[in-house]
Amino acid sequence: MPEAPLQPSEAGHFADIEALFQPTHDEVARQRFVSALRKHVLVDKAADMKTAYETVERPSYAKKEGHAPRDLNEIREAMLHDPTFAVYSAMRVNAQEMTWQSVSDAVERKLPEMVAVAREAARLNPAGGSLRTDPLFKPPAYVADIDVHHIPGSFTAELMPDDVAIGAVAAHGTKVFSGGLAHRRGNPGAVAESVAHFLKRACPDFKPRRILDCGTGIGKNLAPYREVYPDAELYGIDVAAPGLRYGHACFEVQGIPLHLSQQNAELTDFPDGFFDLIVSSFFFHEMPVASTKATLRENHRLLAKGGRLAHMELPPNSEVDPYTAFVLDWDCYYNYEPDYADYRAQEPVQLCVDAGFSPATCWQRFIPNWRTFGDKDLARFVANEIPAPPYGNGSWFIFGARK
């Protein structure tokens, strides 16, 4: 039964929705096991798979076809029946499913309280942010009709009024998901932190007044912009209401005002030229390429003159070697992300040009993960004195443009 809604404390503080997540000892043990299992698959099993490719499958393919695999599709063909690929894939799918399962019971136990706290935060906005959701909004099929990332119900499922469950599961599950990865562990906003510090170094005169994060989820990759651009207003849009409600409550209690609204990034209700900076993280690869193109055209409309885009995404095929491209495309086939490979086959700069940006203002590059690289080395990176770490070892791929 739902308990009585929580009230603001006498000190004027509001209940912390994240603190309501109280996994038991056994649940924490399970979460740690899943983080370790993912690391084992992504490091050890991936290494076994690469050895099998180099020593068995590539020579065998070359013998049969008269040439070694030339691209990611031929590598995939060579690997499809390899036992190390089967083990890697089966374990990775299981770890993915277990990620969300490992946090679900703890969310369900406190769900009525979480909903009450989120409602209260949305009514009172103690930090000065805002939340707009629309009960008539229909999320696109590419998010709502498949269990993206194996999240049961995808990002969008709502089983009760003002539901926050999937938002909480995705937020806590993502910590389990990245628990074994050094540059993301304990730092959910690592992408935003890295992009923001890079922009500040690379474009010292750029001072955005309004920043928009597309596909913001719970807004965790929006909040770090506040450190770097303290005067900017922060906006986030997403088609999924549960994450927006959950994230809004998280950041209101931390005193970080985010303006979150349920909208499709392909066509928003913001006026022309409303933003100076538009960002996103892990966003475009989950939508059809036609929707990516529509979103970038909408980004162009929303940017003020001189405004900038800086989207973090998976690197395209042209930026990685064919074997890495084959491994990256795994998610397209086994992680309910059917548009992943099509997206990665595009050239981000060309996508920006097609959306209306002048070619001379468009760019793409790897940037270092800020916290592990450090500010001093970031300055040297921006001055072209040192490179970013190799992909997979603490760097992010980003692309952008200026209007």
Ligand X SMILES: C[S@@+](CC[C@H](N)C(=O)[O-])C[C@H]1O[C@@H](n2cnc3c(N)ncnc32)[C@H](O)[C@@H]1O
Enumerate binding residues for ligand X (CB under 6 A): 140, 143, 155, 214-217, 221, 237-240, 243, 264-266, 281-283, 286-287, 291
What are the angstrom distances between the C-alpha of 309 and each of 13, 53, 353? 36, 38, 12
State which residue, 6 or 146, has the beta carbon closest to ligand X.
146
Q: Taking the CB of residue 392, how many other CB atoms lie within 10 A of it?
A: 15
State which residue, 276 or 286, has the beta carbon closest to ligand X.
286
Residue nearest to ligand X (CB): 215
Pairwise CA distance, residues 387 & 90, whole Å: 35
State which residue, 179 or 215, has the beta carbon closest to ligand X.
215
Write down the least CB distance from residue 394 to ligand X, Å: 17
State which residue, 69 or 242, has the beta carbon closest to ligand X.
242
Pairwise CA distance, residues 208 & 199, whole Å: 11
Write down the least CB distance from residue 41 to ligand X, Å: 19
Tokens of 53: 């490719």
Write down the least CB distance from residue 154 to ligand X, Å: 8
State which residue, 223 or 382, has the beta carbon closest to ligand X.
223
Write down the least CB distance from residue 159 to ligand X, Å: 17
Write down the least CB distance from residue 172 to ligand X, Å: 13
Q: What are phi and psi of 308, to 5 degrees?
A: -125, 150
363 three-state secondary structure? strand
Contact 270, 302 (CB under 8 A): yes
Tokens of 291: 């929707």
> What's the number of CA atoms in the CB half-sphere (13 Å) around residue 244?
27
Write down the least CB distance from residue 229 to ligand X, Å: 18
State which residue, 238 or 329, has the beta carbon closest to ligand X.
238
What are the angstrom distances between the C-alpha of 188 and each of 37, 120, 182, 224, 365? 20, 25, 12, 10, 22
- Name beta bridge partners: 310: 279, 400
Write down the least CB distance from residue 295 to ligand X, Å: 6
Write down the least CB distance from residue 237 to ligand X, Å: 5
Give me the helix-helix angle, 25-39 and 165-177, nearest 10°: 50
Contact 260, 244 (CB under 8 A): yes
What burial letters (b/e) apply to 206-236, b meaning 16+ CB within 10 Å? eebebbbbbbbbbbbbbbbbbebbeebbbbb
Tokens of 279: 């960002």
State which residue, 109 or 297, has the beta carbon closest to ligand X.
297
Write down the least CB distance from residue 189 to ligand X, Å: 9
State which residue, 80 or 159, has the beta carbon closest to ligand X.
159
Write down the least CB distance from residue 266 to ligand X, Å: 5
Residues 6+ apart with CB under 8 A from 281: 191, 192, 213, 215, 221, 311, 312, 313
Pairwise CA distance, residues 155 & 146, whole Å: 10
State which residue, 37 or 265, has the beta carbon closest to ligand X.
265
Pairwise CA distance, residues 194 & 376, whole Å: 13
In the chain, how many H helices and how many E strands?
A: 18, 8
Contact 403, 307 (CB under 8 A): yes
State which residue, 266 or 319, has the beta carbon closest to ligand X.
266
State which residue, 69 or 189, has the beta carbon closest to ligand X.
189
